[in-house]
């Protein structure tokens, strides 16, 4: 086998090993996948401007993110149900990220409980991704568990009041493999489609007031994931969240939305350093 050199080598290999519905679940974008292609192609309009003749014998990519010192300014975004890809799932990922000195964000839709991930990777900086559930008490309980397990920030996904249409999942009648532990998620129905799950538990009324409520019940820093316009970024900055993650949910929510990298400049300008700004990948 050829040596794996780049992300696309890993991606190609993974697709040969994963069952089709799983590969499709990880790979699919919403609807016609216009934004999915755009997430990649939009980078091709950009150029690095290489400066030369600088002493780079000592190179340091470390920086501070929400008060944590990390070694590289690249973390791992939340992605759901990682045990579908490998039996060690979220734990393996969290440990690997820790070794590289960066941040691991655990998805609410994890196939490993948040406490187990914390135990497996005690030295990794861990954040917890949160959907605000219809049942606010359950939501609150989840936050308390994250606090107790040592998670350092809440990453609140704000672009999923309804779940995006992913045709591949529909065609595959995608469901969570039944032998997998359901980890954090509280829904104990049949092996139904993710859409049924989110339809029943997600709250499509979520709005800025709910962010203020979150603000009031936890001292963890709040990161809003899914901001795509300067208008919303300004509201976020004024409400006092600690950070914005510019994201189109890996092109899985609303097709024909801008590429994340297209949305980044206007958002960065709009917040004027009032909060931190990150870019969510999948390009």
**Minimum distance of a second copy from residue 38's CB (angstroms):** 8
> How would you classify residue 202: left for phi > 0, otherwise alpha for psi between -120 and 50, otherwise beta?
beta
The owner of tokens 């709250």 is 203
Q: Considering beta carbons, is residue 149 or 271 the nearer one to a second copy?
A: 271
List the beta strands (DSSP E) in the chain: 63-65, 68-70, 103-106, 125-130, 154-157, 222-227, 243-246, 276-279
Binding a second copy (rule: CB under 8 A), the pick from 61, 148, 170, 181 is: 170
Q: Is 249 a catalytic residue?
A: yes
Within residues 201-220, the interface with a second copy by CB under 8 A covers 203-208, 210-211
List the beta strands (DSSP E) in 124-185: 125-130, 154-157
Nearest alpha carbon to residue 144 among 218, 211, 216? 218
Residues 195 and 204: beta-carbon distance below 8 Å: no
Is beta strand 103-106 parallel, antiparallel or unpaired with respect to 68-70? unpaired
Q: Considering beta carbons, is residue 27 or 98 the nearer one to a second copy?
A: 27
Within residues 1-60, the interface with a second copy by CB under 8 A covers 2-3, 5-6, 8-9, 31-32, 34, 43-44, 46-57
Q: Determine the interface stretch with a second copy among 73-81, 142-150, 181-189, 221-229 (rule: CB under 8 A).
A: 221-229
Contacts with a second copy: how many residues (CB under 8 A)? 53
Strand (E) or helix (H) holding 216: helix 208-217
**Minimum distance of a second copy from residue 78's CB (angstroms):** 17
Paired with 278 in beta bridges are 245
The owner of tokens 């129905």 is 189
What span, in angstroms and rounded, lies between the C-alpha atoms of 246 and 226?
6
The binding track of 114-153 with respect to a second copy, each residue x by CB under 8 A or -, is ----------------------------------------
Interacting residues toward a second copy by CB under 8 A: 2-3, 5-6, 8-9, 31-32, 34, 43-44, 46-57, 158-159, 161-162, 165, 167, 170-171, 203-208, 210-211, 226-229, 231-232, 235, 248, 253-254, 256-258, 262
Supply the residues annotated as catalytic: 249
């Amino acid at each position: 086998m050829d040596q794996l050199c780049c992300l696309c080598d890993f991606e190609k290999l993974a697709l040969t090993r994963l069952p089709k519905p799983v590969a499709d679940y990880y790979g699919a974008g919403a609807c016609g996948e216009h934004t999915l292609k755009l997430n990649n192609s939009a980078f091709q309009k950009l150029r690095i401007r290489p400066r030369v003749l600088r002493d780079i014998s000592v190179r340091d990519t470390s920086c501070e993110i929400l008060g944590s010192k990390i070694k590289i300014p690249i973390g791992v975004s939340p992605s759901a149900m990682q045990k579908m890809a490998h039996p060690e799932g979220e734990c393996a990922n969290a440990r690997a990220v820790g070794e590289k000195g960066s941040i691991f964000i655990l998805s609410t839709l994890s196939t490993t409980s948040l406490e187990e991930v914390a135990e497996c990777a005690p030295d990794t900086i861990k954040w917890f991704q949160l959907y605000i559930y219809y049942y606010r008490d359950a939501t609150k309980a989840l936050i308390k568990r994250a606090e107790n397990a040592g998670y350092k920030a809440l990453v609140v996904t704000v672009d999923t009041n309804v779940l995006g249409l992913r045709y591949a999942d529909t065609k595959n009648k995608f469901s969570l493999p039944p032998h997998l532990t359901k980890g954090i998620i509280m829904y104990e129905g049949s092996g139904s489609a993710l859409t049924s799950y989110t339809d029943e538990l997600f709250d499509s009324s979520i709005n800025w007031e709910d962010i203020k409520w979150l603000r009031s019940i936890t001292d963890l820093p709040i990161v809003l994931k899914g901001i795509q316009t300067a208008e919303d970024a300004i509201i976020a900055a004024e409400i006092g969240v600690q950070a914005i993650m510019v994201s189109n949910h890996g092109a899985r929510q609303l097709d024909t939305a801008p590429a994340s990298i297209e949305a980044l400049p206007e958002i960065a300008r709009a917040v004027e350093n009032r909060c931190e700004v990150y870019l969510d990948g999948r390009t």
